[in-house]
Structure 1
Amino acid sequence: MHALKKTRPLRRIVLASAATVSGMVLLLSLKPHTSPALAVGTRSPVPSSSASASAGGSARGSAGGSSSSSKSTTGTKTVTGDSVQTRWGPVQVRVTVKNGKLTKVTAVTYPQDNPRDQEISSYAIPQLRREALAAQSAEIDTVSGATYTSDGYRQSLQSALDSAGV
């Protein structure tokens, strides 16, 4: 016996309604995460000065995976790690090492294209920073709810530490 027999119109109506509702739910849940402006490629490069990066850590862009460093006479070295592309955007970390000890970690680039990215980054980045300073390495835990950002942060931090020789 076929489920959509013409002798059972109520069953056909229920099945058609369920299919329509399921289709609408799927369509509404499949919205793109990035804004249309970013899909076109209108990102600006990361500023190279440390003053603009320390003004809230909100520099945004893709820095092509390069690392830069500067060394002073006091044994202090500042190194920027590779830019790691994650599902939600690039993550890049800058570290300062003094006499072989990690003294400062700054997220130069991180996902912040929409309010949800900003919310996740606002609690994940400080937590990752604290853990990196406490561990003195890139062996830090993933922040729950910010898995991709945590993985990118860890990879960029490791590349910065490798460049700094720690």
Structure 2
Amino acid sequence: MIRPAARADLDHLPGIEVAAGEAFRALGMDAVADDAPPTVEELAAYQVDGRAWVATDPAGRPVGYALALELDGGAHLEQVTVHPAAAGRRIGAALIDAVDRWAAGRGAVWLTLTTFADVPWNAPYYERLGFRAMAAETLPAGLRAIREHEGANGLDAWPRVAMRRPVGGAG
């Protein structure tokens, strides 16, 4: 089930992030795997503003989450993470669809994200969901600032890309 995140969910989300990050080690991306997960306080800012969603198992425990921002007059998928034990069940797609509905409710035309270009569960996955790569020179100011921040934090050690799809344009 996908639902807005509750305060009680937030303690579970950093562990989901750490578990999901381990997959990057197989690609030689240890720095990504070792990156600290968001803190409960950082997550709370999204939750309080209604910009955080969780996917839960039948017992109601979070197994994935998504975070969103309002950016450049549209919506930006800041994070989507699914615990590896729950992978392969279209949970990530369902979380993205929840963000898409939120974006539609705000009149957003585009849903954007940034991701690793060559990681199979990143850009190729998002392409299957209707996202398309954006040329760097076409990025609006807010998205350009996110990419610059990512570069300053070392994420450009691997190819990255900004992507977008029309709101309501699920693949």
TM-score by length of 2: 0.28
- The structure whose residues are more often strand, as a share, is 2
Q: Which has the larger radius of gyration?
A: 1
TM-score by length of 1: 0.29
